[in-house]
Amino acid sequence: MTELPPLALSVRQPSAWAIIFGGKDVENRSLGSIRAGRMEPGRIAIHAAIGMKQAEYDYLVWRWAQDGVTVPRPDALPRRAIIGSVEVVRVVTESDSPWFGGEAGLLLRDPVPCDPVPAPGALGYFWWEAGGALAEPLPWMRNWGPADGGLFGDLPVAFEQPPVKPFGRKTDESS
């Protein structure tokens, strides 16, 4: 295993997966959380948080499918674990990246995956230590979509209606 940086950032799934495996080059945060978390450029470990919300998962699966990114089933995503590392290049308040969508973000490059290392998370950048176990899938995760891939398991997930965006700033259109 490649040596992992001692500092980590906890990110909910499936965004943590997308940083390491899906080409996500911006992690959106508020400027306040970036300052409070002392988030600065440098190599960090990516921690897949224990929490994962179905509404957020559904929206991101739908949204990223528009760009050809296929996200693993929710019960296949490790949680409560370090899953790799990435270089934080700088803090940005504007970006042409399709992954940018907030007040500010961390511009990322050079993701390196690792086998999941169970570890508790924390807010902001934190000094992580291995320990405990991966989070068990919640019932909704096990029941999400066809468990065996179904008859047409190689087709992308389809939604009758686009899921409602469950996060981010409200605009005049969405309020």
Rounded-to-integer distance, Cα 52 and Cα 138, Å:
9
Burial 79-102, CB ≥16 within 10 A → b, else e: bbbbbbbbbbeebeeebeeebbeb
Q: What is the pLDDT of residue 126?
A: 96
**What is the SS3 assignment for 60?**
helix
Q: What is the pLDDT of residue 167?
A: 61
Q: What is the pLDDT of residue 7?
A: 97
Q: What is the pLDDT of residue 168?
A: 60
**How many other C-beta atoms can be found within 10 angstroms of the C-beta atom of residue 110?**
9
Rounded-to-integer distance, Cα 20 and Cα 81, Å:
13
Q: What is the pLDDT of residue 151?
A: 44
Q: What is the pLDDT of residue 175?
A: 27
Q: What is the pLDDT of residue 101?
A: 86
Q: What is the pLDDT of residue 165?
A: 67
Q: Which amino acid is at 138?
A: L
Low-confidence ranges of the chain (pLDDT < 50): 1, 150-155, 169-175
Two tokens at 131?
């320990």
Q: What is the pLDDT of residue 173?
A: 37
Q: What is the pTM of this model?
A: 0.85
Q: Which amino acid is at 152?
A: F
Cβ-proximal residues to 20 (8 Å cutoff; 6+ apart), any chain: 46, 83, 84, 86, 111, 112, 113
Query: How many helices (H) and strands (E) would you count in the chain?
Result: 4, 6
Q: What is the pLDDT of residue 146?
A: 58
